[in-house]
């Protein structure tokens, strides 16, 4: 089976989207380390994938917030701007 360049690019974008959705599902199941890996996989396939990048950045922000002393700061946005 052969693919032309457009078909292969479409498959790459689709797979990146699937990885991103898988990451969101893992996040909802409180499997945050695995979720982060799937956001990274999505970005490895498509470095311009804005949603995966935003989700990964939200995870990193949440990790940083969890490691700093608690104060009166509002909680950071979770991946895909979900409200927990």
Q: List Cα–Cα distances, 82 to 2, 13, 32, 63, in angstroms.
A: 40, 23, 14, 16
Residue 21 lies in a domain: no
The answer to whether the pTM exceeds 0.85 is no
Q: How confident is the model at residue 2 (pLDDT cuts 50, 70, 90)?
A: very low
Q: Which structural domain, as residue segments, surrounds residue 47?
A: 31-66
Residue 10 lies in a domain: no
Separation CA 46–CA 62 (nearest Å): 23
Q: How many CB atoms lie within 10 A of CB 4?
A: 8
pLDDT in tens, 6-56: 555 678 889 999 999 999 999 999 999 999 999 999 999 999 999 999 999
Residue 81 lies in a domain: no
Instruction: Provide the domain count of the chain.
Output: 1
Crossing angle of the two packed helices 5-28 and 32-45, in degrees rounded to 10: 170
Residue 25 lies in a domain: no
Residue 57 lies in a domain: yes
Residue 72 lies in a domain: no
Residue 47 lies in a domain: yes
Residue 35 lies in a domain: yes
Do 39 and 52 meet the contact criterion of CB atoms below 8 Å apart? yes
């Amino acid at each position: 089976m052969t693919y032309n360049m457009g078909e292969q690019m479409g498959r790459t974008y689709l797979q990146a989207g699937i990885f991103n959705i898988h990451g969101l599902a893992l996040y909802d199941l409180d499997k945050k380390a695995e979720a982060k890996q799937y956001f990274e996989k999505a970005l490895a396939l498509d470095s311009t994938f804005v949603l995966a990048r935003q989700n990964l950045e939200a995870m990193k922000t949440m990790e940083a917030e969890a490691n700093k002393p608690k104060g009166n700061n509002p909680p950071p946005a979770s991946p895909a701007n979900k409200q927990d």
